[in-house]
Chain A
């Protein structure tokens, strides 16, 4: 990699997909200093921005950082230059999926997907189905079986039910067409420009 390589087209496409202002970053690292999840990240938030500016999109799209980010928005809020980092992270996640980049946090991705599937099906989320079905499908149940923590997981579920914190009846949105329409947006991509491609 040539460290001085600069790809204005990449950045241009990215900023059009935005509004993000990666180029406005002056590396003050307020985003990284305020981020609660840096301990689990392989690239610091300021490094994500820098790499994007340098045209090193691929390294960013492969990073764990995108998926362990909890979207708390502290970075965007404290950024003095309105880079809109959290929104940029979302865009990069979407791009990584479109480009077929393997996700380093498959459990996180599966949670998002299972959640969206529920919305697509009912218009609303039915937690009583989502929680156990996700735990089984993600392999997290098997993991807790191996680690011997499955009983605690089971007790947790039973306690939730005992405490009356689970609903036994799914709720639905009647307007199916409206929900479908929201999901058909996904495949069209931004109408003004296509996101950056690798």
Chain B
């Protein structure tokens, strides 16, 4: 289907050039199919992630703020951010640089900063949700999933602007539009342990295990995510849980953009599915969603 073209600014973030190339590819295919041209903001830098705000909070604001400055050089009204942590850091910088303590920072933001969107939230809005609904060629019939949002797209709401903090709905709405069934469950925004996967893996495994267990108990056949850190932690868990193999429960962990791609019948979406650790293809074949 041909849609009226819409141009938006785009901030990919470091992971999408590295460990989450599969996410990046599916986003490219989906945005293209939905008539969105994503223009990368010029010469962007790392958002600072957890490291910067943990030990150098001022640097965190100026690092992320520099990206907002670059974004203001583009004429588009919306800035799309697929990684929830990047989204959160950019929003937090905006919050700080517009807030009562803005005098603390060397950086002053000009007028014309685009509105910052979490990608899943942006695509779950009226206009684009309609485009998704109308574009569905292979409804995801029989696909029962839990949508897992993680922390950063929603918390804290005064920074993220999220309206549904404890029970977000953006991906659930998208899955429904695609013909799948999103199962309501209580761990949508529980923490996956994030970067503790490196430094304190024991802690991360404890958290991931709880989430996987609850997802299985809810009857989900797969977990749908929008965050590459959550994806990596949940997807690699069965490989890493060597201390107690009995605890290693496996569920495919799919990006919401991969599901959109599948339902819209986009060529090339299969490529990224091979890059997952828990192979989602047997499940998708079983449901007749992949040849």
Residues of B within 8 A of A (CB): 14-15, 17-22, 43-46, 48-59, 61-63, 65-66, 99-101, 103-106, 151-152, 154-157, 165, 189-191, 193-196, 198-200, 203, 206-207, 236, 239-240, 242, 274-277
B157 with A77: CB separation less than 8 A: yes
Interface range on chain A (Cβ under 8 Å from partner): 35 or more
For residue A27, CB closer than 8 A to chain B, the reply is: no
For residue A105, CB closer than 8 A to chain B, the reply is: yes
Name the CB-closest residue of A to B210: A36
The CA-CA distance from A175 to B51 in the complex, in Å, is 21
Please give, as numbers and ranges, the residues of chain A lying within 8 Å of B54 by CB-CB distance.
71, 90, 93-94, 112
Tell me the minimal C-beta distance from A34 to chain B in angstroms.
10
Q: Mark A66-78, 1 if CB is under 8 A from B, else 0.
A: 0010111110110
The CA-CA distance from A165 to B199 in the complex, in Å, is 20
Please give, as numbers and ranges, the residues of chain B lying within 8 Å of A97 by CB-CB distance.
55
For residue A127, CB closer than 8 A to chain B, the reply is: yes
A152 with B155: CB separation less than 8 A: no
Please give, as numbers and ranges, the residues of chain A lying within 8 Å of B99 by CB-CB distance.
19
CB < 8 Å neighbour of A108 from B103, B154, B157, B200: B200
Known: A70-B194, A76-B155, A167-B17. A116 touches B55 (CB 8 A): yes
Sample 10 A-B pairs with CB under 8 A, ordered by A number.
A70-B50, A71-B54, A105-B200, A116-B56, A123-B46, A124-B17, A149-B242, A163-B275, A164-B275, A185-B59
Known: A74-B155, A127-B15, A163-B277. A94 touches B46 (CB 8 A): no
- The interface residues of chain A, by DSSP majority, are classed as helix
A165 with B44: CB separation less than 8 A: no
Known: A68-B203, A110-B199, A119-B46. 7 other contacts (CB 8 A): A70-B151, A71-B50, A105-B199, A118-B46, A165-B275, A167-B21, A182-B66
Please give, as numbers and ranges, the residues of chain B lying within 8 Å of A93 by CB-CB distance.
54-55
Please give, as numbers and ranges, the residues of chain B lying within 8 Å of A109 by CB-CB distance.
55
* A44-74 residues at the B interface, CB under 8 angstroms: 68, 70-74
Q: Which of A72, A181, A192 gathers the greatest number of chain B CB atoms within 10 Å? A: A72
The CA-CA distance from A68 to B200 in the complex, in Å, is 8
Please give, as numbers and ranges, the residues of chain B lying within 8 Å of A72 by CB-CB distance.
151, 155, 191, 194
A73 with B156: CB separation less than 8 A: yes
Please give, as numbers and ranges, the residues of chain A lying within 8 Å of B59 by CB-CB distance.
116, 182-183, 185-186
